[in-house]
Amino acid sequence: MPENSAGTLAAPAKPAKQKPGGTLYRGREGMWSWVLHRITGVAIFFFLLVHILDTALVRVSPEAYNAVIGTYQTPIMGLGEVALVGAIVFHAFNGIRIILVDLWAWATRHQKLLFYIVIALWVVTMLGFAPRHLMNVFSH
Amino acid sequence: MSVIEAPRSQARPARKRGLNLEKWGWIYMRASGVVLLVLIFGHLFVNLLVGEGVKAIDFGFVGGKWADPFWQWWDVAMLWLALIHGANGMRTIVNDYTNPGTAQKVLKGALFLAATVLIVLGTLVVFTFDPCPAGSPADLLPSFCPAV
Ligand code: HEM
């Protein structure tokens, strides 16, 4: 795929009329950061609904709360928590990227670079989080 | 082939006078996002990284945190900001993938209902919570509860 497929296929004599090139999805960093932001946003939202309900069990009884929170401490859920934190950390860092791109001309021009910075910060944060969390989950 | 509208073309023109709610929604997503980053990272750090992390979470842990108004307000702020941010973000997604009509109204109504109910429930839980409920075994309760 050429860098910029729109307009390079056949040099038009007069300015080409705007027409959809079969799809609105243009690929590359801009699209993927948007796709990931959307998917992680939805995932976090549904987790939040559940998480408020399970925490509300403290108002029922200590036994009820402990029984449900205990399921968060199993190995399978421990892996799920790594995925969840990964989603939140991406959404948070990329959210800052969106804000910068919206408000600051330099960031608008360098949105691709900023996407790779988001990925790098995500890797660093997850290297800080995942080993320690998994040690907590898989020990004792 | 049916022509897809260009990105960002509006379903209906923005209001010229009065309150532009879409604009304020746009601002809210960004303002709440910045605050949520701090609140959520702090939440994850204290609950998952300090000490034994997730393994240490139980009724006593929650009771200990909410004995302090600082954590009560931290969690309530997170509750309101995240639910409104999340529900409004979901509304954007519903707008993107559905046409105006009954289904769209039902989906948005469900989002509104879920956010409202959970905000009320969560706020009540944080502020009416009793860390030392009568008749519960002492080993399940925070250490500051009076022995009975
Ligand atoms: C951790 C800090 C967070 C930051 C910095 C952040 C930032 C953002 C930003 C800037 C947007 C884009 C809004 C727009 O395009 O107008 C957004 C969208 C969204 N956020 Fe967040 N957010 C955070 C946390 C959350 C949480 C906790 C949830 C779930 C409850 C959530 C769910 C969503 C959803 C569903 C969208 C819509 C995505 C879309 O339109 O594709 N976000 N967020």
In a mutational test of the B interface, the residue from A31, A54, A65 whose CB has the highest number of chain B CBs within 10 Å is A65
The domain ranges of chain A are 29-138
- For chain A, the three-class secondary structure string (H helix, E strand, C coil) is CCCCCCCCCCCCCCCCCCCCCCCCCCCHHHHHHHHHHHHHHHHHHHHHHHHHHHHHHHHCCHHHHHHHHHHHHCHHHHHHHHHHHHHHHHHHHHHHHHHHHHHCHHHHHCHHHHHHHHHHHHHHHHHHHHHHHHHHHHCC
Of the ranges A21-25, A55-59, A91-95, B139-143, which one carries the lowest mean pLDDT score?
A21-25
Q: Do A66 and B136 touch (CB under 8 A)?
A: no
Chain A residues in contact with B114 (beta carbon < 8 A): 49
**ipTM value > 0.85:** yes
Cβ–ligand 1 contact at B35 (below 6 Å):
no
- DSSP letter, residue B48: I
Q: What is the pLDDT of residue A50?
A: 97
Q: Using CA atoms, how far apart are residues A67 and A136, in angstroms rounded to an integer?
A: 19
List pLDDT tens digits, range B29-86: 999 999 999 999 999 999 999 999 999 999 999 999 999 999 999 999 999 999 999 9
Alpha helices in B13-146, H assignment, sequence order: 21-44, 59-66, 69-97, 102-128
For the A29-138 domain, the top CATH level (class) is mainly alpha
Q: Does A81 touch chain B (CB under 8 A)?
A: yes
Of A79, A78, A49, A57, the C-alpha closest to B58 is A57
Q: Which atom of ligand 1 is nearest to the CA of B40?
A: 1
Reported residue count of chain B is 148
| Residue A1 banded pLDDT, cuts 50, 70, 90 | very low
Of B132, B89, B99, B74, the C-alpha closest to B11 is B99
Alpha helices in B98-145, H assignment, sequence order: 102-128
List pLDDT tens digits, range A33-49: 999 999 999 999 999 99
Q: Do B118 and A136 touch (CB under 8 A)?
A: no
Position A37: which residue type? H
Q: Using CA atoms, how far apart are residues B91 and B103, in angstroms rounded to an integer?
A: 13
Q: What is the model's pTM?
A: 0.88
Q: Does A38 touch chain B (CB under 8 A)?
A: yes
List pLDDT tens digits, range A52-77: 999 999 999 999 999 999 999 999 99
Question: Contact, A46 vs A94, CB < 8 A?
Answer: no
- Distance of CA A111 from the midpoint of ligand 1 (Å): 18
Question: Contact, A139 vs A132, CB < 8 A?
Answer: no
- Distance of CA B58 from the midpoint of ligand 1 (Å): 29
- CATH architecture classification, B24-130: Up-down Bundle (1.20)
Chain B residues in contact with A76 (beta carbon < 8 A): none
Q: For residue A7, is pLDDT > 50?
A: no
- DSSP letter, residue B8: T
CA distances to A51, A140, B81, B90, B115 from B110, rounded to whole Å, are 18, 42, 18, 11, 8
- Distance of CA A48 from the midpoint of ligand 1 (Å): 13
Q: Which residue has the higher pLDDT, B74 or B4?
A: B74
| Residue B17 banded pLDDT, cuts 50, 70, 90 | confident
Q: Do A133 and B133 touch (CB under 8 A)?
A: no
